[in-house]
């Protein structure tokens, strides 16, 4: 595979913070996440349940549900015309509506929940096209058929008049992708796009995403908890733990030589078809803390087998490491005893 | 060769499809349509396949939570073999303690108003262990077995993480010293780091207690870590059954090959030639004629469209239902990395 030349990122998330205020306390769902997304490349965002993947996606799109609120950071989008990057967090709701769909498309895990049951899929794909591109109903329908064909829905001119409940899970996800791409966005955010699907259908959808990326130079943010999917699909990866990206860098580097103790432990604990039958897996002790009981210092320290000293228990490790491979762990920078 | 604990023969379960005001039966979902296999004492047999292929229906028939439409379920206990499919509810009752279930969703399978000690102790109480102190001793023993701190005995399930709840579910299933554990997707709702803990626990318990396990799962990676043998289902039928290593390294059925090829591996650049199956899984209410897999199979011929392949013993201990198995040379996992 030829690596695309690293230019300016299309989308750059800097120190993003999003929290939910509740009676029991505040959940820092996203707590200082930074990453870059490039044209023609896929950034995988991976991590266990509750680590903040979906809230990150929702923050980028400006659709965080109440009582959630973005409390800090920047989300810089480079405009298509080569102008200076725009901070999406500073845009008006109206301007943001234009960005959604037009510049950034979104695919969810459960397509059924994101469709209306009362409109045909043609109508639903067409709606965005009419809104953003100003096409009339007839032209929008033609475009919807083209899009369905592009994502591999068989007999698109018949399917365009069907309702979502008439489609299988795999076809629904294809329609969802067609809808997300209807206005030719440059960035696609896919939040667990294949988690609800069977493996053979998952393979079809991942293949489709790869093909569309090649054709259109899409920048993709692929959110998943499946390291296998990341290894297969992503160029770069951000590994999240309790609202933080603890390690970010090229997929090959991180899978071959993970540096953060959490990434190392996580990769070792994944079952694979290559294992010896009935072989025990290395485990990570304990479980993910409840977001209200977020540990002091490095949030991973209670489970970490490589913990250095009290600094891990009391201070938050800064981002460190080479420019393209960032790690938040005192083993790699910021430790007063200078272990690194 | 170890003795057989469970022998399933020609098992069928059809669900009627009802339509209209009169709820007339207009068809049948052939959820399980002629499945045969046996489980040896002390082994883990995994039942794998994609959504809707009939895995849960098979396990529910074995536990007689469902009455089979046809077939035999021969269960051997204390040297005596009985066909569970033919027994009445009353006849089944004394046998139930020998077969226990571990569920997928640790959240919904535990009574939120009972403390852990009572949840684990309930089957003991129902089966006549009325002495409180004796029950408590057994509950603590079980908690230790699944590595739950004894101090948690009076807590409610909501105070536990997913992995801990699954441990509670396992302790409860083990309370009556069952012969057979049926675990239906026991780790698929868990986070990766916790999944590994529970899989290891199942392996340890099996070694210590000599349990026999029917492990139902869709994830071939998970199955590789627990199973002695693997049975693959497709649209209500079994297509292949073999020892784990043999099945993964040299599949005999094209569907097994495709499943293995589609399983994502956490190794970048691993797969360059993934098999992408065309179309979707067939509908068990309207399965294709001949081999149900033929519309998606890259090796199908005219004969496959008409003739239904029966399960045959291709090699000692290896079973396959494909008309062309001996002409094909399929790729196992070694060829994929
Ligand atoms: N609407 C909400 N109200 C309160 N807390 C929320 C809300 N949405 C998310 N959170 C909290 O924010 C944190 C991050 O949630 P998020 O949905 O981003 O996790 P995730 O990484 O996408 O997990 P999963 O893999 O389960 O989808 C969690 O602790 C969650 O409980
Ligand atoms: N009570 C029922 N009434 C009608 N159809 C049913 C019933 N239970 C299951 N089915 C159908 O039988 C088929 C097999 O279902 P089953 O739950 O056994 O599949 P499974 O292999 O366990 O799938 P999954 O991986 O999704 O759990 C499906 O088509 C399902 O819709
Ligand atoms: S019987 Fe034919 S269609 Fe079925 S798996 Fe074998 S080759 Fe493919
Ligand atoms: Mg999520
Ligand atoms: Mg099931």
Residue ranges of chain B whose pLDDT lies below 70:
1, 271-272, 335-337
Report the C-alpha gap between A248 and A233 in whole angstroms: 16
**Token pair in block for residue B116:** 């852990």
Q: Classify residue B289 as exposed, middle or buried by CB count within 10 Å of its CB (0-12, 13-18, 19+).
A: exposed
B213 domain residue, yes or no: yes
Q: What residues are in contact with ligand 3 under a 6 Å CB criterion? A: B 253-254, 291, 293-294, 297, 299-300, 304, 309, 322-324
Exposure b/e, B32-54, CB count within 10 A at least 16 = b: bbbbbbebbebbbbbbbbbebbb
pLDDT at A133: 85
- Residue bearing the CA closest to ligand 2, atom 27: B51
The distance of A287 to chain B (nearest Cα, Å) reads 7
- Look-up of token digits 């820092």: A28
Contact list in A for residue B221 (CB cut-off 8 A) is 228, 270-273, 275
Distance, CA of A9 to CA of A35 (rounded, Å): 9
Residue A225 with chain B: CB contacts under 8 Å: 191-192
Beta strand B44-48 with A219-224 is: unpaired
Measuring CA to CA, how many Å separate B209 from each of B39, B42, B46, B142, B205?
Answer: 17, 9, 19, 12, 6
The 8-class DSSP code of residue B70 comes to E
Q: How far is CA A51 from CA A242, A244, A252, in A?
A: 4, 8, 23
Residue B265 pLDDT: 87
Report if residue B35 sits inside a domain: yes
Q: Which residues are near ligand 5, the ion (C-beta closer than 5 Å)?
A: B 56
* Closest CB from A256, A274, A287 relative to B161: A287
Q: What is the DSSP string of B276-311?
A: ---S-PPPTTSPPSSSTTGGG-TT--HHHHHSPPPP
Tokens of B334: 């070694």
B291, part of any domain: no
Give residues with Cβ within 8 angstroms of B252, minimum separation 6. Answer: B240, B242, B314, B318, B320, B322, B325, B328, B330
Say how far apart CA A331 and CA A335 lie, in whole Å: 7
Residue with tokens 């039928």: B237
Element housing B123 (H / E): helix B116-126
- pLDDT, position A78: 94
pLDDT tens per residue across span B37-74: 999 999 999 999 998 999 999 999 999 999 999 999 99
Question: What does the pLDDT look like over A86-137, one tens digit per residue?
Answer: 999 999 999 999 899 889 999 987 767 778 888 999 999 998 888 888 889 8
B147 in any annotated domain: no
Q: Are strands A42-46 and B80-83 parallel, antiparallel or unpaired?
A: unpaired
Measured distance CA(B107)–CA(B160) in Å, rounded? 9
Query: Nearest by CB to A200, which of B191, B262, B337?
Result: B262
A68 lines ligand 1 (CB under 6 A): yes
Give a yes or no: residue B280 inside a domain. Answer: no
Q: Which ligand is nearest to the CA of A199?
A: 2
**Pocket lining: B332 vs ligand 2, CB cutoff 6 Å:** no
Q: How far is CA A186 from CA A183, A228, B39, in A?
A: 9, 25, 53
How do the pLDDT tens digits run along chain A, 340 residues long? 445 445 789 999 999 999 998 887 889 999 999 999 999 999 999 998 889 999 999 999 999 998 999 999 999 999 888 788 999 999 999 999 989 988 999 998 776 777 888 899 999 999 888 888 888 989 999 999 999 998 988 889 999 999 988 888 888 889 999 999 998 999 999 999 998 888 998 999 999 999 999 999 999 999 999 999 999 999 999 999 999 999 999 999 999 999 999 999 999 999 999 999 999 999 998 888 887 888 999 999 999 999 999 999 999 999 999 989 999 999 998 888 765 4
Residue B136 lies in a domain: no
Please, are residues A158 and A212 in contact by the beta-carbon 8 Å criterion? no
In a domain, B184, yes or no: yes
Q: Which helix (H) or strand (E) holds A227?
A: helix A227-233
Number of compact structural domains in chain B: 1
ipTM of the complex: 0.89
Q: Is omega for the bond preceding B208 within 30 degrees of 0, making it cis?
A: no
Cβ contacts of residue B261 below 8 Å, gap of 6+? A203, B271, B274, B275, B331, B336
Domain interval for residue B13:
4-111+179-227
Residue B128 inside a domain? The answer is no
Torsion of CA B210, B211, B215, B221, to 10 degrees: -30
Share of chain A above pLDDT 70, in %: 97
Q: What is the pLDDT of residue A338?
A: 63
Q: What token pair was written down for A310? A: 């009290």
pLDDT of residue B10: 97
Best mutation site among B232, B251, B253, B254 for ligand 3, i.e. most ligand atoms within 8 A of its Cβ?
B254
Q: Domain holding B29: CATH number?
A: 3.40.50.300
CB atoms A231 and B266 under 8 Å: yes
Q: How close is the Cα of B327 to the center of ligand 3, in Å?
A: 11
């Amino acid at each position: 595979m030829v690596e695309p030349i690293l230019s300016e990122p299309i989308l750059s998330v800097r120190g993003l913070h999003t929290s939910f205020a509740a009676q029991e306390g505040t959940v820092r769902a996203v707590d200082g996440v930074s990453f870059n997304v490039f044209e023609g490349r896929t950034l995988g965002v991976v991590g266990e349940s509750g680590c903040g993947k979906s809230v990150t996606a929702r923050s980028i799109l400006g659709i965080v549900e109440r009582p959630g609120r973005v409390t800090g950071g920047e989300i810089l989008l480079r405009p298509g015309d080569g102008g200076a990057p725009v901070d999406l967090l500073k845009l008006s709701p109206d301007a943001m509506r234009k960005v959604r769909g037009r510049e950034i498309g979104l695919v969810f895990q459960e397509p059924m929940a994101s469709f209306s049951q009362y409109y045909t899929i043609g109508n639903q794909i067409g709606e965005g096209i009419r809104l953003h591109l100003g096409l009339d109903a007839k032209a929008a329908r033609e475009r919807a058929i083209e899009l369905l064909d592009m994502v591999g829905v068989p007999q698109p001119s018949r399917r365009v008049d069907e309702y979502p409940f008439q489609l299988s899970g795999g076809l629904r996800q294809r329609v969802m992708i067609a809808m997300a791409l209807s206005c030719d966005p440059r960035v696609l955010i896919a939040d667990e796009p294949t988690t609800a699907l069977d493996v053979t259908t998952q393979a079809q959808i991942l293949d489709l995403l790869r093909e569309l990326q090649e054709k259109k130079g899409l920048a993709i943010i692929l959110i998943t908890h499946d390291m296998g999917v990341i290894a297969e699909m992503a160029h770069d990866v951000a590994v999240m733990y309790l609202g933080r990206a603890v390690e970010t860098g090229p997929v090959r580097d991180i899978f071959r030589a993970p540096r953060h103790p959490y990434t190392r432990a996580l990769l070792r604990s994944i079952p694979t078809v290559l294992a010896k039958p009935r072989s025990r897996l290395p485990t990570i002790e304990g479980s993910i803390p409840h977001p209200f009981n977020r540990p002091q210092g490095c949030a991973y320290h209670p489970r970490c087998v490589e913990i250095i000293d009290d600094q891990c228990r009391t201070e938050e490790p800064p981002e460190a490491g080479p420019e393209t491979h960032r790690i938040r762990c005192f083993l790699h920078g910021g430790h007063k005893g200078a272990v690194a | 060769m170890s003795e057989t604990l469970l022998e399933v023969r020609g098992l069928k379960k059809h669900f009627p499809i009802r339509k209209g005001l009169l709820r007339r039966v207009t068809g049948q979902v052939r959820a399980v349509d002629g499945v045969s296999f046996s489980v040896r004492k002390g082994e883990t047999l995994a039942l794998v396949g994609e959504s809707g292929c009939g895995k849960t229906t098979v396990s529910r028939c074995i536990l007689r939570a469902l009455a089979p439409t046809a077939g035999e379920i021969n269960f051997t206990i204390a040297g005596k073999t009985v066909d569970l499919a033919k027994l009445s509810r009353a006849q089944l009752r004394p046998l139930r303690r020998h077969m226990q279930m571990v569920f997928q969703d640790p959240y919904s399978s535990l009574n939120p108003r009972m403390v852990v000690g009572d949840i684990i102790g309930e089957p003991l109480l129902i089966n006549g262990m009325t002495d409180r102190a004796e029950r408590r001793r057994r509950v603590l023993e079980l908690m230790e077995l699944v590595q739950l701190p004894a101090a948690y005995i009076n807590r409610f399930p909501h105070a536990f993480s997913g992995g801990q709840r699954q441990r509670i579910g396992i302790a409860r299933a083990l309370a009556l010293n069952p012969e057979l554990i049926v675990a239906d997707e026991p780790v698929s709702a868990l986070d990766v780091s916790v999944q590994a803990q529970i899989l290891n626990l199942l392996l340890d318990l099996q070694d210590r207690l000599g349990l026999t396990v029917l492990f139902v799962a869709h994830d071939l990676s998970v199955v590789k870590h627990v199973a002695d043998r693997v049975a693959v289902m497709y649209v209500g039928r079994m297509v292949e059954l073999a020892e784990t290593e043999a099945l993964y390294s040299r599949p005999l059925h094209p569907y097994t090959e495709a499943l293995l090829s589609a399983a994502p591996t956490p190794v970048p650049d691993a797969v360059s030639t993934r098999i992408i199956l065309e179309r979707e899984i067939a509908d068990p209410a309207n399965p294709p004629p001949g081999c149900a897999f033929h519309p998606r199979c890259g090796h199908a011929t005219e004969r496959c469209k008409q003739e239904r392949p029966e399960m045959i013993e291709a090699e000692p201990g290896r079973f396959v239902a494909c008309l062309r198995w001996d002409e094909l040379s399929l790729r196992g996992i070694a060829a994929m990395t």
